Amino acid sequence: MRLDVAAQRPRFTADEAVGWGEALYGLTAVAAEELPSDRDQNFLLKTAGGESAVLKIAGSAEVENVLDLQNQALLHLAGRAAVAGAVPRLHQTRGGAWMARVPGQDGQDHWVRLLSHLPGVPLGEVADQPAELLAGSGLLLGRLDAALLDFRHPAMGRRLHWDLAHAVETLAQYGPTITNPARRALVDGFAAWFVEKVTPRLPGLRRSVIHGDGNDYNILVSAAEAGPRRVTGLIDFGDMVYSATVFEPAIAAAYLMLDKEDPAAAATAVVSGYASAMPLSNEELSLLPALIAIRLCISVSLSAYQQTQEPENDYLSISERPAWELLARLAQMPPGLLAERLRTAVGEKNDNTSIE
């Protein structure tokens, strides 16, 4: 599993993005704003009439059938009423295709897609994140996974370094780039816990296609002026994978616990929201604390590695500081406490979720 983000990322200009929008999709844009991204390059294209769409240019190493996995999943979800309005809509090219290849200045071709621009702002840009928003985030991911239960694609079983099923290998490969001894010991301790508690149970866990990256910058919420905020959408399907279903709420909880005064309460809100749409077994609930911790360990390990490749790219380390702080707090939490709070929360009726 390689992680050569810098070498693979497209490097198109805003003018080029406008040109591809016109040539491929007939979209006459008057402005193009580059959006933050890890391995892709995304441009928000705006027309004179106020319409907008996102031109998504894939990295040169992205594989066609994996991109088709994302495309087909979006098309599948577009037909499910529970989530259709909360995910981007895929546009066809002038020739009727779902994506096209364009040449880059690096001599490599890149796949291009055009997606609808969902309204709202990233949850990560909202300072006040009450339990209702966190539960609404979990609820949307639960509805999404429920809608994907009958979805199949030849590329869904791909190997991905973010997939928690491969956490041990990922940490062995990228963990050594953590140079601080205390931090490295923290990650090693959680890795040992994962091997003891989770690894033996992995083969028996329920599996399905999951979004795989429900972080607070991929979850969209309504603007403040629209009244009480509510969850409105989910973007970035680049980490979709067929894996253990319980990984979905674990990943979301890991990110939505960051910078919270009571991270356990944040986790219970996310997980209870998810479970209201996608029920979780007692075994899945018992594994969540270890899964949450291992996702954070993967995040800080990959961040450490990527910073050696691109020390000037702040986006790659956007959640690193709070992740280390949360790992330290989890290490001090009494064993079993978080799992018990999660079981209690899921067992109670929760009518406070808020989603459009």
Instruction: Say whether both 18 and 167 belong to one domain.
Output: no
Q: Has residue 318 got a pLDDT over 70? A: no
Residue 93 within any structural domain of the chain: yes
- pLDDT score, position 227: 82
Cβ contacts of residue 169 below 8 Å, gap of 6+?
1
Residue 356 within any structural domain of the chain: no
The CATH number linked to 202 is 3.90.1200.10
Instruction: Say whether both 220 and 162 belong to one domain.
Output: yes
Q: Has residue 82 got a pLDDT over 70? A: yes
Instruction: Say whether both 197 and 236 belong to one domain.
Output: yes
Q: What is the pLDDT of residues 63-75, one digit of tens each?
A: 999 999 999 999 9
Sign of CA dihedral 179, 180, 182, 186: negative
User: Could you give the percent of the chain with pLDDT greater than 70?
Assistant: 94
Among residues 122, 130, 120, 125, the alpha carbon closest in space to that of 260 is found at 130
Burial of 179 (0-12, 13-18, 19+ CB in 10 A): exposed
How far apart CA 17 and CA 44 sit, in angstroms, is: 9
Mean pLDDT of 124-133: 95
Q: Has residue 270 got a pLDDT over 80? A: yes
The CATH number linked to 74 is 3.30.200.20
- Beginning with the edge strand found earlier in the chain, give each strand of the sheet holding 231-234 in spatial order: 121-122, 219-221, 231-234
Report CA 53 to chain centroid distance, whole Å.
20
How far apart CA 113 and CA 90 sit, in angstroms, is: 8
H or E element at residue 325: helix 320-332
Instruction: Say whether both 55 and 197 belong to one domain.
Output: no
Q: Has residue 224 got a pLDDT over 70? A: yes
- pLDDT score, position 349: 41
Q: What are phi and psi of 167, to 5 degrees?
A: -60, -40
Domains in the chain: how many in total?
2
Percent helix, strand, coil in the chain, to 5, is 50, 15, 35
Among residues 223, 88, 86, 89, the alpha carbon closest in space to that of 143 is found at 86
Residue 285 within any structural domain of the chain: yes
Instruction: Say whether both 170 and 289 belong to one domain.
Output: yes
- pTM > 0.85: yes or no: yes
Altogether, the residues listed in the chain come to a count of 356
Mean pLDDT of 323-339: 93
Mean pLDDT of 310-322: 72
Residue 355 within any structural domain of the chain: no
Q: What is the residue-averaged pLDDT of the chain?
A: 92
Angle of the 263-277 helix axis to the 282-309 helix axis, nearest 10: 120
Angle of the 181-197 helix axis to the 282-309 helix axis, nearest 10: 150
Residue 177 domain boundaries: 121-347
Please, which pLDDT band fits residue 319 given cuts at 50, 70 and 90?
A: low
- pLDDT score, position 61: 86
How far apart CA 152 and CA 156 sit, in angstroms, is: 7
H or E element at residue 251: helix 247-256
* β partners of residue 243: 208
How far apart CA 260 and CA 100 sit, in angstroms, is: 42
Q: What is the pLDDT of residues 162-201, one digit of tens each?
A: 999 999 999 999 999 999 999 999 999 999 999 999 999 9
Q: 3-state DSSP call for residue 256?
A: helix
Among residues 293, 284, 337, the alpha carbon closest in space to that of 190 is found at 293
Q: Which pair of structure tokens corresponds to residue 29?
A: 């844009």
First-to-last alpha carbon distance for the chain, in angstroms, is 38
How far apart CA 217 and CA 237 sit, in angstroms, is: 12
Instruction: Say whether both 32 and 89 belong to one domain.
Output: yes
Cβ proximity of 246 and 210 under 8 Å: no
How far apart CA 305 and CA 4 sit, in angstroms, is: 10
Q: What is the pLDDT of residues 10-43, one digit of tens each?
A: 889 999 999 999 999 999 999 999 998 878 999 9
